[in-house]
Amino acid sequence: MNQCEKPKPKYKCYLKGKSPVLFTFIDDAQGSNLLSTNKQILQLCLRHRHQGQFPPPRGGAVDMSMLVSTQTFRSNGGFNKATRKNSTSLILFVTKDLSELKQIAEAFSGETAVENFMNL
């Protein structure tokens, strides 16, 4: 009969009760329904910081970071508007499409003014 043992943490901080940190990477999903119409992925993108509540005294949620790589910021089958609006970080490579660049600047205008963004 198979017997499983509980995994032992590699780092000491996890022995002291620190929760694990999860990382989700979605790559090359452009044109699929995954980012545009999938309600479960949308909820995960919007609520991942609030999922998996721990009981007191620790409290809080499971730590999770999400990274989505895509070739276009706005398109049919691309990022859902709610997901775009709730993004907190952006890695942007060279683009020659000034209209898309302006849309990205406007989406992140809460972080920096559009003029400042365009000058970067």
Q: Is the pTM of this model over 0.85?
A: no
Q: Is 12 helix (H, G, I), strand (E, B) or coil?
A: helix
With beta carbons less than 8 A apart as the criterion, state whether 21 and 60 touch: no
Residues 49 and 101 in one domain: no
Which residues, in sequence order, are bridge partners of residue 24? 66
With beta carbons less than 8 A apart as the criterion, state whether 84 and 73 touch: yes
Residue 102 lies in domain: 94-120
Q: Which residue has the higher pLDDT, 6 or 115?
A: 115
Alpha helices (H) along the chain: 12-15, 33-36, 39-47, 81-85, 98-107, 114-119
Residues 72 and 30 in one domain: yes
Determine the pLDDT at residue 77. Answer: 62
Residues 98 and 54 in one domain: no
pLDDT digits (tens, 9 = 90+) for 58-97: 667 777 788 888 777 777 666 777 777 777 788 888 888 8
Please check whether residue 14 lies inside any domain of the structure: no
Task: Indicate the burial class of 100 (C-beta count within 10 angstroms; 0-12, 13-18, 19 or more).
Answer: middle
Peptide bond just before 57 cis, omega within 30 deg: yes
Residues 79 and 117 in one domain: no
The DSSP call for residue 50 is G
Phi and psi angles of residue 29, each rounded to the nearest 5 degrees, phi first: -100, 5
Task: Please state, rounded to an integer, the average pLDDT across all residues of the chain.
Answer: 79
